[in-house]
Amino acid sequence: MAGKYYEELEAGMRIEHALGRTITEADNVLFCALTMNTQPLHLDEHFAAQTQFGTRIVNGLFTLGLAVGLTVADLTAGTIIANLGYDNVRHPRPMFHGDTLYVTSEVLSKRDSQSNPDAGVVRLRHVGRNQRGEVVIEFERTALFRKRGGE
């Protein structure tokens, strides 16, 4: 598997995920449609042009989901059992159509699972930056990782 097993992760470990993704207008509009989010800040250019942003911004939940997705190949592909929670989600700056998202992950802590001897609980911090290096999302995530040789 491409993902990391519990034993491969240590507190303080940082992973710079090389894969980035440019967000298109179609991505944003489709996500809003799929989630039934009719916020005009994401869909109505005339409305958004009159805000402090001057144009539509990308749905923050799409940014969150994309940030998690960009970590999968290096971190969790085939080695995660479940995401247990997301905490302290912050959006210091918006993403705009045409911006590219890049993510860095840091292992904050880890411990053996109390209910599953074949797994461990890992707390991660993810920071997403746009193509200019500006932080656009920060959040913490707790996940249940497989141990080597586990089910």
pLDDT tens, residue order, the chain (151 aa): 589 999 999 999 999 999 999 999 999 999 999 999 999 999 999 999 999 999 999 999 999 999 999 999 999 999 999 999 999 999 999 999 999 999 999 999 999 999 999 999 999 999 999 999 999 999 999 999 999 986 6
Per-residue pLDDT, 121: 98
| Domains along the sequence of the chain with CATH | 6-146 (3.10.129.10)
Name 77's Cβ contacts closer than 8 Å, sequence gap at least 6.
1, 2, 3
> pTM for this structure?
0.94
Residues 103 and 133: their CA atoms lie apart, in Å, by 10
Per-residue pLDDT, 150: 67
